[in-house]
């Protein structure tokens, strides 16, 4: 789950409340975000693939990462969720292979 805590820091947390990653909104920009890619089972039983950043650029980065990194490696992926830190290090203004992608955590 992501959302602001009481001091306006966005956090990704585990169901047990443990913090996976947190980001001060001042550190999130069109060139840096943290996102999650996850498989979620809805209350009706449907399986949903969700990819979302804290803000729009992170959601675009999540979609790029899913298509260009995760799907080609899907036989090796064994977790239900991945939290990734993205930085537009090549400065082209878009998610790309020249960027920095750091998997912060993953789990079932």
Query: pLDDT tens digits, residue range 9-34?
Result: 898 888 888 998 888 888 899 999 99
Ranges assigned E (strand) in 1-108: 2-4, 10-13, 19-23, 32-41, 47-53, 81-87, 100-107
Q: 55-107, pLDDT tens digit by residue? A: 999 999 999 999 999 999 999 999 999 999 999 999 999 999 999 999 999 99
Q: Give residue 7's pLDDT band: very low, low, confident or very high (50, 70, 90).
A: low
Q: Give residue 52's pLDDT band: very low, low, confident or very high (50, 70, 90).
A: very high
Question: What is the model's pTM?
Answer: 0.87
> From edge to edge, which strands make up the β-sheet containing 81-87?
47-53, 32-41, 81-87, 100-107
Q: Is 16 exposed, middle or buried (0-12, 13-18, 19+ CB in 10 A)?
A: exposed
């Amino acid at each position: 789950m992501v959302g602001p805590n009481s001091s306006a820091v966005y956090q990704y947390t585990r169901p047990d409340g443990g913090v996976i990653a947190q980001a001060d909104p001042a550190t999130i920009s069109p060139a840096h975000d943290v996102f999650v890619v996850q498989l979620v089972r809805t209350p009706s039983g449907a399986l949903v693939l969700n990819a979302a950043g804290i803000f729009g650029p992170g959601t675009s980065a999540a979609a790029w990462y899913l298509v260009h990194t995760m799907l080609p490696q899907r036989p090796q992926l064994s977790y239900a969720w991945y939290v990734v830190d993205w930085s537009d290090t090549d400065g082209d203004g878009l998610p790309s292979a020249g960027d920095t992608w750091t998997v912060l955590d993953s789990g079932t």
